[in-house]
Amino acid sequence: MLATVLTSLVRGLEARPVEVQVDISSGVAGFFLVGLASGSVREAKERARAAIRNSGLRFPQRRLTVNLAPAELRKDGSGLDLAIAVGICLAALGLKAPGDAAFLGELSLDGTLRHVDGVLVAARGLPGQGVTDLVVPACDAAEAALGEAIRVLPAPNLASVVSHLRGEAPLAPYAGSLPEAQSPAPELDLAEIHGQEAARRALEVAAAGGHHLLMWGPPGAGKTMLARCLPGLLPPLTLAEALEVAEVRSVLGELPPGCPLDWRRPFRAPHHSMSLAGLVGGGSGMARPGEISRAGHGVLFLDELAEFEPATVQALRQPLEQGRVFLTRSAGSVAFPARFQLVAATNPCPCGWSGDGRRACRCTRAALETYRRALSGPLLDRVDLQVNVPRTPLEALGGEPSGESSSTVRERVLAARSLQLKRQGMLNASLRAAHLRCWAPLRPAARRGLERWATEAALTARGFHRAWRVARTLADLEAAAEVEERHVMEALGYRLAEHAG
């Protein structure tokens, strides 16, 4: 007696179909599990045996062989439990499994179905493999239902799945519909910030053009607070973006049950002691998404950038360029999306007082140089906007903050972004040199200004294009077709002073 049941494994953000083939033959009673099953899958034998018995079903006392195909794909996790148990029951009953249904779920010993990670990824990936029905634990139904192209059948336990397959008590499809798009209120409003005109303007420009941003200022200047304002200046996630964010969280098992779709832009602020694997993704066996993938379509905030391990910071380069990160571990290679906007912050010097004006910096020039060198280099070459954030005088904190609110700024940002998308199909931060010549024509005076600056300040080619990209965004904020000289001049102002003291 042979039964074949479909299930799936998650590799990166991809669903790989897995066939569970169960054969029951005469011979000495035994249970053999083959097909490159790792430790966690071999434990499924014990769970399946107990769950079948405790569900009032018969566990066949014969020679039982379970093969997980394709055999070259390494299997891990507990999501295959349900498919293995269902296969055994069907084989024992002499029934065939439907060819267009897949089964996901972890078993308790009493037969109850438990949550598994990555259900959303399976629900979105399996329709492309010819699967129309997906049986999932009841607690994962809302998550699975976000994959619109599939019929979700929530099941409380193994017994209900088996009686569904025997035609005794069919499972009711999940009835919930896709949640409506929302514009959530920002976590922190710009209106709450005192002063900080330079940083406000830089945040607006960063939001409008998708530029990465570096804030440079003494401790306590409010850099973290400013960074937290950025998600509120960006447009809400689109459905596709929200689903991708949810997929990453699904793989990590971080989706809250019941309300899986979050329309807020992610904001991640990993501490500088974070490991490389934690930041870009990794781990033993199969790589898991790191902070940069969790920050997808949102903001990755690196406070105290100079304190991060240099290797960790340099590992951000490839994801910054490509919007994806490729990770290879012993169990195989995966790619995770990593399209995030970087906001970095740093003290101006080890003691933090350089450039404050009210107190003298006590760092030696050599210490300053070392600190700067930790910050320079290839990563900062990709940060278009660099801005000083001075400490707000204490007397100013007593009064009412007088700046614009996030919603006012966001209107300008949205207008500028839609101009860019209409013109070039991408944000200005992604423009390369050839794009700039085409999409960001410079007025003669603007070209002269930029070239004069490039000569006198010995600007690198990257620096030249950085200023040009930012100038394009400044022009877009004014809905100007061409880049004027004042845009170039302002763009050149958003870089760090050579002299901090």
Partner 1 sequence: MAVVGARRPTPYGEAVAERLATDLAAAGVVVVSGLALGVDAAAHEGALIGGGCTVAVLGSGVDVIYPAANAGLARRLLDAGGAILSQFPDGTVPRAANFPRRNWIIAALADLVVVVEAAEGSGALITADAALHLGKQVMAVPGSVFSALSVGCHQLLRDGAGLVQNARDVLADLSSPGEVLDDPLAAPERFRIAEPADGSRDPLLRHLDDSLPGDPGVLARKLGLPFGDLIARLTRLELEGRVVRRGAGYVKVHGRGTSREESE
By beta-carbon proximity to partner 1, the closer residue of 29 and 360 is: 360
Give the nearest distance from C-beta 205 to partner 1 in angstroms. 8
Shortest distance in whole angstroms from residue 362 CB to partner 1: 9
Does 389 bind partner 1 (CB under 8 A)? Our answer is yes
Regarding 404 and contact with partner 1 (CB under 8 A), the answer is no
Residue 395 binds partner 1, judged by CB under 8 A? no
Tokens coding 114: 């438990």
The answer to whether 262 and 241 have CB atoms below 8 angstroms apart is no
Among the listed residues 155, 390, 417, 442, the single contact to partner 1 using CB under 8 A? 390
The correct pick among 69, 191, 198, 274 for binding partner 1 (CB under 8 A) is 198
Residues 6+ apart with CB under 8 A from 348: 216, 217, 218, 354, 355, 361, 388, 500
| Of the candidate residues 72, 168, 321, 498, the single one contacting partner 1 (CB under 8 A) | 498
Shortest CB 461 distance to partner 1, Å: 19
- 486 is a site residue for partner 1 (CB under 8 A): yes
> Cα 44–48–51 angle (5° rounding)?
135
User: 14-25 and 63-69 as β-strands: parallel, antiparallel, unpaired?
Assistant: antiparallel
CB of 358 to partner 1, least distance (A): 6
Q: CA neighbours within 13 Å on the CB side: how many for 239?
A: 7
What does the block give as tokens for 180?
């409506």
Smallest gap from residue 499 Cβ to partner 1 (A): 6
Residue 157 carries which DSSP code? Answer: B
Q: Is residue 103 at the binding interface for partner 1, with CB under 8 A as the rule?
A: no
Residues of span 452-471 touching partner 1 by CB under 8 A = 452-453, 456
Closest approach, Cβ 497 to partner 1, in A, equals 3
Q: Assess contact for 406 and 233: CB atoms under 8 A.
A: yes
Q: Please, which residues have CB within 8 angstroms of residue 166's CB and are 6 or more apart in sequence?
A: 93, 95
How many other CB atoms are found less than 10 A from the CB of residue 195? 20
CA–CA gap between residue 261 and residue 255 (Å, rounded): 8
Query: At its nearest, how many Å lie between partner 1 and the CB of residue 438?
Result: 25
Cα separation of 147 and 440, whole Å?
Answer: 39
Q: Does 78 bind partner 1 (CB under 8 A)?
A: no
Nearest to partner 1 of 196, 406 (CB atom): 196
Find the binder of partner 1 among 341, 388, 406, 420 (CB under 8 A).
388
Where does this chain touch partner 1 (CB under 8 A) — which range of 15-23, 110-118, 160-168, 386-394? Answer: 386-394
- The two three-digit tokens of residue 317, written as one number: 């380069």
> Can you give the C-alpha Rg of the chain in angstroms?
28
Question: From the list 358, 398, 432, 444, which residue makes contact with partner 1 (rule: CB under 8 A)?
Answer: 358
Stretch that binds partner 1, among 126-134, 198-206, 282-290, 374-382 (CB under 8 A): 198-206
| Residue count (the chain) | 501
As measured in angstroms, the least distance from the Cβ of 496 to partner 1 is: 8
Alpha-carbon span 218 to 390, nearest angstrom: 7
Exactly one of 79, 87, 195, 319 binds partner 1 (CB under 8 A); that residue is 195
Answer yes or no whether residue 359 interacts with partner 1 by CB under 8 A: yes
Taking the complex as a whole, the smallest distance from the CB of residue 122 to partner 1 amounts, in Å, to: 48
Q: Give the range of 104-112, 184-192, 233-241, 354-362 binding partner 1 by CB under 8 A.
A: 354-362
Evaluate whether 124 touches 247 at the Cβ level (below 8 Å).
yes
Binding residues with partner 1: total (CB under 8 A): 37
Task: Report whether 378 contacts 317 (CB < 8 A).
Answer: yes
Which DSSP string corresponds to 263-301?
A: -SPPEE---TT--HHHHHEE-SSS-EE-HHHHTTTSEEE
Closest CA to 125 of 9, 14, 20: 14
Segment 421 to 450, residues that bind partner 1, using CB under 8 A? 449
Q: Which of 360, 371, 374, 447 binds partner 1 (CB under 8 A)?
A: 360
Do the Cβ atoms of 113 and 82 come closer than 8 Å?
Answer: yes
Helices (H), 323-392: 365-375
Q: Could you say whether residue 406 binds partner 1 (CB under 8 A)?
A: no
Q: What is the DSSP string of 21-73?
A: EEEEESSS-EEEEESSB-HHHHTHHHHHHHHHHHTT-PPP-SEEEEEEESTTS
Q: Name the minimum Å distance from CB 305 to partner 1.
A: 17
Residue closer to partner 1 (CB basis): 237 or 345 = 345
- Contacts with partner 1 by CB under 8 A lie at 195-198, 200-201, 217, 348, 354-361, 365, 388-390, 449, 452-453, 456, 474, 486-487, 489-490, 492-494, 497-501
